[in-house]
Structure formats: C-alpha cells, structure tokens
Structure 1
Amino acid sequence: MSLSRRYPALAGIILVSNVLIACTSVPMAPQPEPTPETGTVVTEPAAPATGWADILGPVSAPENWQVEPCVNEVLLCVEADGELIGTVERFSYPLAEVNLQGGAPVTEEAQRQFLRAWVTDHYAAIEGDRKTADPNLSFAGDPPQAIAVGSLPGLRYGYSVTHPNGTLFDRGIGYVATDGDQVYVFTTGVISGDPTGSFSDEAAVEAFAPHLNTIIQGLQL
C-alpha cells in the first residue's frame, strides 16, 4: 500500500475567471435557468466542516489552562493563564487522493490496516526529512495505539527526534482516522522551526497530552 507522504493543512484557493463572449456587437441576452419539475426540491450542497469550531465537543485542560478554536480555523489554541503556549492542527483530505491497492477500505478492519500503513508511511517521511537536514539526528516512533476519534476508530501515534547527545529536536503527537471517504489528521508537539500545531516546550506537551486524548475522543465526527 503506497500512501501520500504529507498533505497540507490548508486547501488551495482556486480562482475562477469569468470569460466574456462577444461574437457580435449585440450583447447576448441572459439565458433563463431551467424551471425545476413539479415536486422537485432544489437544495444547495452543504459546505464541508473545515474548522475546529465545526467539530469541537467537550474540552479538557489542566487547571488554569484554556482551550478554544484559534482565529485560524485549522488550529486549536491552548493557553495557560491567558498566554498562548501551543496549538493543535487539524486537516483532512479525500481518501481518493491516496494511491491504494485493492480499493478504498470499506470494512472496519480494512480501515485499521489503512491507518497502520498511514502511520508507517508518515514515520518514514518524518525520519527521511529530518535525516536529510541532519544525518546525525535519531528518529524513534512510538507503536500506534487504538483510540476513538469522535465516533470513528482511529490511531494515536507519536515520535521523537533527538541529537546524538540525547537533546530533543522534535516531539510529535498525532491522531489519524478515516470514515472511508475522508482522512482526518490532528497533530501537535514540539516541532523545530514550525509554529503550526506545536507547543513551546516538551513539558507543556506532556501536561496537555492526556487532556488532548479526551478532546479527540469527544470530537463531533
């Protein structure tokens, strides 16, 4: 099973240009829209949920910490005594964008297999990226653990990247789930050089981690 390495958190913006048609000097008359057949109900397609505000359920946090959606809708802001100390990033993409052998995972067992392969692929991508930047860095991935992501079966994963002397370079925590149509990813940690979906230090990550488990399980997915 070959999976895409990493998908961006923010969808691209598609600009659609209007084309002006002028075949003659006489302007074209606007064409009326077809009248729906009797009894037909015309509805607009529902916009997909894209931000934390759309899915956030009950929140949990250490004492004197606050958790709420950021102005940037793909980030969940975590504050301590009113000071921002970290964020959790969420993103999703269609399962159809993943190169799958044997088709989309329809059964629950097939979805679990897909998620395990996704984590393996993600670990390989992170390790390759970090070692390209510095071959002396060491990568260690945690065994993924089953966890509910809202109403969906999912996996919690984590990894650490360290310098030869043991000093932390990166610490990542993430959750991944699929409903057979979309892939949902939630990620945070201490990510060097990346303020998106990261915390100020490892102690803050570890203090918030059990509360994040609760938040992820309560999502309205």
Structure 2
Amino acid sequence: MLRVYHLIIGAILLVLIPVGARFLFPNLFFHQGTPSNTVPTPTKTATPSKQSSVNQTNVWQKLLGSTSAPNNWQVIPCAGEAALLCVSSQGKALGTVEVVIYTLKDNPNFQKHLTEVGISQSSQADLQNPQFQSKLTKALQAWVADSYSRFTKDHQTKYANNSAFSTYPPQQVNVGKLPGIRYGFVKLKPDGGIQEQYISYVTSDGNQLYVITTSFNSSLSKGKFDNLANLAIFQPYLSAIAENLNLPTR
C-alpha cells in the first residue's frame, strides 16, 4: 500500500514540476524565433574579427564599435560591399544600413554652413572644445533643414497632394564622440499606414561629413528594410550603434 502511495505522489510531482518551472523561469521555455514587434533586451556582440569573411575594405569595419541587436539578430559589415551594414536573423537578410562619407569639397552646401557658424576649414578642428561642438551642431542643423526643404519640394513635385508627407523633428544625438543629428521623414498611405520611412544620422569631424541612412519601401537599392516591423524593431538598436561608432576616426 505504501509503495502505491509513493507512486501516486511521484506521478503528481512529474506533472507539477514542469508547470512550476515554466511559471518561475519563463525564459527557459520561450521559443526564440524571429522577434515580434516588441523590442527584446539588447544583446551585445563584438565587432567581427579580421579572420571573418567580411570584406576588409568595408568602411563599417573601421567605424563599427560595439554593436547592439535583438536576440538571434546579427549586425556585421556586409561582405563584398564598401559601405553597407548587414542586418540578418538566423541567416535571413532583413535589411541594410548605408554610410556615405563626403569630403567638404564634395559637399559645398555643408561647407557653406560651416563658414556661416564661424568654422574655418583652414584651421585644425578642436573636436573637444564645447564652443566648436556648439558651432558644429548649428551647421549640422542647417544642413538637415536644407535636406528637409529638398525632400518636401521633391515630394510635392512628384505626388502633389495625393499622399501625406511629414518630417521628424531633428534630434541632437551623439554619433560616436561627435555631436550629430537624427532626422528622417515618413510618407503615409491615403487610407492610413506608413508607405515609406527614412531614418538618418549625420555628423562631421570638421573635415568629412558622415551620413548614415536606412529606410523602408524606398526606391533606394541600398540602405533599406523590406519589412516595416523589422525596421521598427531595429531603430533603437541603430541609435545605440550610432552612439558607439569609432568617430572621430584615429
């Protein structure tokens, strides 16, 4: 009789222990597939080593500091590309982020804004000087304002009043150790919902202008995500990546 009683207790425990464990330790039973729209806890991953298959001429190899990404996502410089950062999950490509680097002679508009705020290209940039950083921020803000004006004009010419278009309020951010601006715009469908979205970061070291861009459903061939939900998930991680870039370059 005692042995039968013990068998009954054992059977009950076999049922209750997994249930209790699932309640106390839910992460052990969570299926870690492709993330949903909820942003997961960031996972720090190191910049790929030189032994990886990444093309060493990719400028992201030099710019990328520590990276932050959702669980099961990978963020590495794209192989065979000079200026693209590849975002993938379990071997499936999700999107790319492009960086374009302009010298001042190739961007006279920004050079004009630097002159307007009192930054001379003939003198060495004092990147740690708060006064220089303040002037640089004003020049970047003026450059973004020009970009917004151009975006708005292009949109009105192409779409007239057939779709809603809105720019995001520019935000002052750190891009590496440099002052920068986060900006972008969105185009809405006539019946609601996002049709296109652009997210960009811009900064300068006084010699070069760095523009980092990604988008959704754009006409661009690079620097884009095909799925809006994936771009939404990645946005806060891109902010962290921008903040940890190796800028200014050594």
Q: What TM bracket, shorter-length normalisation?
A: 0.7 to 0.9
What amino acid is the match of 1:116?
Q
RMSD: 1.8
Indicate yes or no: 2:150 matched with 1:121: no
Percent identity (aligned): 39
CA distance in 2, matches of 1:220, 1:164: 41
CA distance in 2, matches of 1:50, 1:67: 14
Structure with greater Cα Rg: 2
Indicate yes or no: 2:77 matched with 1:51: no
Counterpart for residue 81 of structure 1: 90
Counterpart for residue 179 of structure 2: 153
Counterpart for residue 72 of structure 1: 81
- Mind listing any 5+ residue stretches in structure 2 that lack a counterpart? 1-56, 120-131
8 Å CA contact retained: 2:199, 2:213: yes
What amino acid is the match of 2:67?
V
Match of 2:202 among 176, 192, 197: 176
TM-score using structure 2 length = 0.65
Distance 1:148 1:113, change over 3 A: same
Distance 1:108 1:194, change over 3 A: same
User: Which SS does the other structure have where 1:103 is aligned?
Assistant: helix
Counterpart for residue 238 of structure 2: 212
CA distance in 2, matches of 1:191, 1:201: 8
TM-score using structure 1 length = 0.73
8 Å CA contact retained: 2:114, 2:139: no
User: Which SS does the other structure have where 1:87 is aligned?
Assistant: strand
CA distance in 2, matches of 1:177, 1:56: 15
Counterpart for residue 60 of structure 1: 68
What amino acid is the match of 1:190?
F
8 Å CA contact retained: 1:95, 1:181: yes
CA distance in 2, matches of 1:140, 1:52: 30
- Mind listing any 5+ residue stretches in structure 1 that lack a counterpart? 1-48
The one-character-per-residue Cα deviations of 1:182-221 (angstroms, maximum 9, x if unpaired) are 1111000204222310101221111001111111111111
Match of 1:90 among 63, 82, 99: 99
Q: CA deviation at 1:104?
A: 6.7
8 Å CA contact retained: 2:58, 2:81: no
Counterpart for residue 115 of structure 2: 103
Q: Which has the higher helix share?
A: 2
